Amino acid sequence: DAATRVGKMHEIRIHGRGGQGAVLAGGILATAFVQAGKHVVAVPSFGFERRGAPVASFLRVDEAPIRQMTNIYRPDCILCIDPTVGRAVNVFDGITEGAVLVQATARPLAELTIPERITCVGVCDAVQLALAIFGRPITNTIMLGAFARTTGLVSLDALRFAVEHSSFRDAGLRQNLEALLVVGSADDLDDEVEIGCLVHELEPIVGAVGEQMLQPGPALADAVENGLCASAIGDVGWRQVDHQKP
């Protein structure tokens, strides 16, 4: 259960590509954690800054003061804001037992290769959403909303505060708040979701890694002004992964 992870120190690794805002996402997430009263250490990012090159940033967060200032080698949360960066780097390197994956992808979970150490997965077709909102595949704030929904480690209100106090201004700020809301604002949805122009049937998914139950998923926030419709929305939600054979 994602809720059981609250209250311990977490090490988070964010994967993306240059130009998508992986480092900025780390800064926004750190601000949100601080706003929520938690202690955060941001570890320097690694990777080339050129557009399209793999980039990683890191956070360590705890309820208590953090004295550990080493690099992060054993993350328990992976936030991957690009659907293809896993082809260039091993996004699962060093993950702990019971780790969480929040992945940008248009593919269903049954088609993903999930290591057994991963026990909870959140997926979001962030590129399609970003193209609808920004006209460009900038997925960072969308995936922060997916991170909040999947892990329960940070609230949408704290993330909204962080975005509002970021470097975004005017239209950029409005768009990024919309991007955050489009994934993060739907809670306690029924098996059939109808918000705005989106109607999507949710059902259990059985794939190669066993049985994954799809929890309440895709949604559109009423505040989104871009008129997104069903064709712009992917499969958003979190699944508890059971690696036992069915």
145 three-class SS: helix
Q: What span, in angstroms and rounded, lies between the C-alpha atoms of 120 and 123?
A: 10
Confidence band, pLDDT 50/70/90 cuts, at residue 214: very low
Residue 119 is encoded by which pair of tokens? 């026990």
CA dihedral for 137, 141, 146, 150, sign (positive or negative) = positive
The structure's pTM equals 0.74
For residue 18, the tally of other CB atoms under 10 A from its CB is: 16
How far apart CA 90 and CA 157 sit, in angstroms, is 32
Q: Is 239 helix (H, G, I), strand (E, B) or coil?
A: strand
Q: What is the pLDDT of residues 29-80, one digit of tens each?
A: 999 999 999 999 988 776 666 788 899 999 999 999 999 888 899 999 999 9
Q: What is the number of other CB atoms lying within 10 angstroms of the CB of residue 17?
A: 22
Mean pLDDT score of the chain, rounded to an integer?
74
Contact present, 152 and 100 (Cβ < 8 Å): no
pLDDT tens, 172-213? 888 888 888 777 664 433 222 222 222 222 222 222 222 222
Asked if 236 contacts 124 with a C-beta cutoff of 8 angstroms, the reply is yes
Dist CA 100 CA 97 (whole Å): 9
Task: Determine the pLDDT at residue 227.
Answer: 28
Q: Which of helix, strand or coil describes residue 46?
A: strand
Q: How far apart are CA 184 and CA 72, in angstroms?
A: 27
Of the candidates 191, 168, 177, the one whose C-alpha atom is nearest the C-alpha of residue 237 is 191
Measured distance CA(146)–CA(156) in Å, rounded: 10
DSSP code at position 153: S
CA–CA gap between residue 126 and residue 46 (Å, rounded): 23
